Each structure stands twice: as C-alpha cells, then as structure tokens.
Amino acid sequence: MTRIDAKFSDLRAQGKKAFVAYIMAGDPGYETSLEILKGLPGAGVDVIELGLPFTDPMADGPTIQAAGQRALDGGMTLQRTLDLARAFRETDDTTPIVLMGYYNPIYSRGVDTFLADAKDAGIDGLIVVDLPPEEDAELCLPAQAAGLNFIRLATPTTDDARLPRVLQNTSGFVYYVSITGITGSAEAQATDVGPEVARIKAATDLPVIVGFGINSPEKSRNIASVSDGAVVGSAIVSKIADGNSVSDVLAFVKSLSDGAHSA
C-alpha cells in the first residue's frame, strides 16, 4: 500500500473528501518553494501535487506555464525537484507526493534510473500528461512495479468506449479534468462534473478527484460534494506569483481545504 492508498483509506474511514494542492517545484525559488511545500499538510492538504518544471507544458495555462519558466530560470531541474521532495520527507513521512509533469525529462534521465531516484526521494505517484494508455509499457507498468502509483487523467471527452482503456492500469486515484482546455482557463461546474464522476465511479473502485477550474473555497466545496475530492493548482500558483508571503499563501490553501473538507 502506497502513501496515496493509505491516505484515501483513512479519508474514507473518516467520511471525508480529499483536498489536493498543486505547486510548481522551485517557484518562486528553491527555498521559498520548500517552505510552502512543508506548510501544505498543516494547511489541510491531503495529497501534494508537485509540478516538474518543463519548457513545453501543453496542458497548462499561462499561470502554470509562467511558474514553470520562473522555476527553470532559477535553475530548477528534475534532480533539484527530487531534492525538494527528499527535503520535505525529512519532516513528513506520511503526506503523499504526486509528481506531475511531462515525459521528456524522465526519458532523458532514463526510466529505470528515474524510478529508483523518485522512490528514494519519497515520491508516491506520477501524473505524466503526455503518455497515453497505449504507451503503458514505457513508464506506467515499470512505475507500478517499482511501487509508485500511476494516476491517469480522464476528461469530458473520455467516452464510454475510451474509459476502460484509461482505467486499465491506473492506480491511486483517477484525476478527472473538469473542463476541456488548459489549466486556469475556465471554471468547473458541479452540475456538469457530478454525472461524469458518477459515470467513472461506476467503472472503477478508485477515488475520483476533480481538478482544473477550481479557484475558491466555495468551488472547492461544491466540486468535492459531487466527487471524492478537489484539486487546486492555478489559483494557488497565482497567489505565489503575486508575491504573497508564505503565510498568506498557506492561509489561502487552508481556506480551500476547509471548503473541500466541509463537503
């Protein structure tokens, strides 16, 4: 059982919905990013999504693209991202970390080397946006053999014919993308999301967590009420980009987590 599996088991036992927070590794700098990362569990975050900076983030809108560029300009690399996770693990051995990004940096490092290093650094799961199920032998299956969850994205265009393929080797949870388009480009609507989550849950026992287009405590609560939890990324990254203090960023995260947990 991974930390992700254990966390969702614990949440189910408590009758609680999950709150998942995304930050970009190394944004706005390594030390500040580490301070925010270490503060997320205390702000009510159940699962951390740690963005891996990449030059061509095709699924991400301007906010997260800019965060990745700031991190890269500050010298952030895959190795330093793993160092960040390892530093977090010095004081927290229970909060799951999902590394979210694109395949190119992993491919460049070498799959076997990357998986060993990620596991050693305390990474629990992967979301690799540009690897479809047809490429499961490339990374998904080796990751699961190494003890890492491989979390797949389902979207509004994932129809009933496609869904079984998407779910086939998914583990940890299913990430439902609430909108068609890039991160931060539109607002999620519970009335649209609810039926889609129900459709996915009819086909899997995995938790279904909803992300994209969630930017307020009210939205976090509404989306969590029709799913197993909510993910917020761009709204948090925007607070960081605006130069808010770490304490102010974490206070905002706490308001979002309170929203999800009240569902």
Residue 27 among the catalytic residues: no
Q: Amino acid letter at 90? A: E
Quote the CA–CA distance of 7 and 16 in Å, as a whole number. 11
- Selection from 178, 168, 130, 174 nearest residue 152 by Cα: 174
Q: Please state, in angstroms and as integers, the Cα–Cα distance from residue 236 to each residue in 177, 178, 228, following that order.
A: 17, 17, 20
Q: Which of 5, 27, 46, 60 is catalytic?
A: 60
Residue 49 among the catalytic residues: yes
First to last CA, the chain: 26
Quote the CA–CA distance of 211 and 225 in Å, as a whole number. 13
What is the side-by-side strand order in the sheet with 125-128?
149-150, 125-128, 97-101, 47-51, 18-24, 229-232, 208-211, 174-177, 153-154
Q: Which of 27, 46, 49, 196 is catalytic?
A: 49
Please check whether residue 183 is in contact with residue 174, taking contact to mean a CB–CB distance below 8 angstroms.
Answer: no
Please check whether residue 92 is in contact with residue 99, taking contact to mean a CB–CB distance below 8 angstroms.
Answer: no
Active-site positions read 49, 60
